[in-house]
Amino acid sequence: MRSGRILGMCVILSLVLTGCGESSKLYPASKADGVFFSVPKSWHGLSNAALNKYEKKSSEGESNSRQSLVRWQVAYSTDSKIKVSQVFSLKPVKSPLVFVRVRDLTGSETNDFSYNSLRNVIVPITQLSEGADLGVADFKILEDGEVVEKGARGVQSIYSFSIDGTDQTFNQTVLMSNDRSTLYIFMVRCATKCYTKNKKVMEEIVKSYTVRGAK
């Protein structure tokens, strides 16, 4: 009888601790695309609708055509006043910012995309690493390696560069689905001083990013 009571208390304690852990985080996800990650519950989100509305309004030509391929995108920041325009700008942000996007690949991308193509989706990393003068100061690749998920594979690149005299660090993971039809973009960034200060939580967010793929 005594052992049964102890076992019951252990089960209750386990449930309480698990509940506390879950309540401290948000779990954004696109079930249709098999994508999810976690961020601290205190972070502030920008919805798929808000990001789409801004991007459609500001996009022209090829950019507008590519935006129409977007299936899901969200952003999160510790800054409660973060603006949508900051998500789509390469200018340094003073608070940690996470941006996630899932979009269809065009026919030419499906045929031509390589790992270098994935690296260059946001910033022309390969050109900058070769010393190309593209108006970006102090470009450095800090880490670069292959990432293999259940539903996709690609590369994670951590790099830094300066804009307007402020150094910033990007931690990006860009994957392509196994059937080469879908692009998965995951990026965490902020000014390098901010990144260093918040490195632990930002790395935890990156590690939580999971791509199982569409069912």
CATH number of the domain bearing residue 170: 3.40.1000.10
| Separation between Cα atoms, residue 195 and residue 205, nearest integer Å | 13
- On whether residue 10 sits in a domain, the answer given is no
- On whether residue 1 sits in a domain, the answer given is no
In terms of Cβ atoms closer than 10 Å to its own Cβ (0-12, 13-18, 19+), residue 176 is buried
| Separation between Cα atoms, residue 32 and residue 184, nearest integer Å | 13
- Per the structure, the complete domain to which residue 61 belongs is given by 25-211
Q: What's the pLDDT tens digit per position in 185-204? A: 999 999 999 999 999 999 99
Number of domains in the chain: 1
The overall average pLDDT reported for the chain is 88
- On whether residue 8 sits in a domain, the answer given is no
Confidence (pTM): 0.86
Closest of 188, 54, 181, 182 to residue 122, by C-alpha: 188
Are 146 and 159 a contacting pair, CB within 8 Å? no
According to the model, what pLDDT value does residue 3 have? 44
Closest of 182, 189, 180, 148 to residue 32, by C-alpha: 182
- On whether residue 203 sits in a domain, the answer given is yes
Is 172's pLDDT higher than 70? Answer: yes
Are 123 and 159 a contacting pair, CB within 8 Å? yes
- On whether residue 145 sits in a domain, the answer given is yes
- Residue indicated by tokens 């193509």: 117
- On whether residue 2 sits in a domain, the answer given is no
According to the model, what pLDDT value does residue 16 have? 40
- On whether residue 9 sits in a domain, the answer given is no
Tell me which DSSP letter residue 120 carries.
Answer: T
Are 173 and 209 a contacting pair, CB within 8 Å? yes
- On whether residue 3 sits in a domain, the answer given is no
Q: What's the pLDDT tens digit per position in 64-110? A: 667 889 999 999 999 999 999 999 999 999 999 999 999 999 999 99
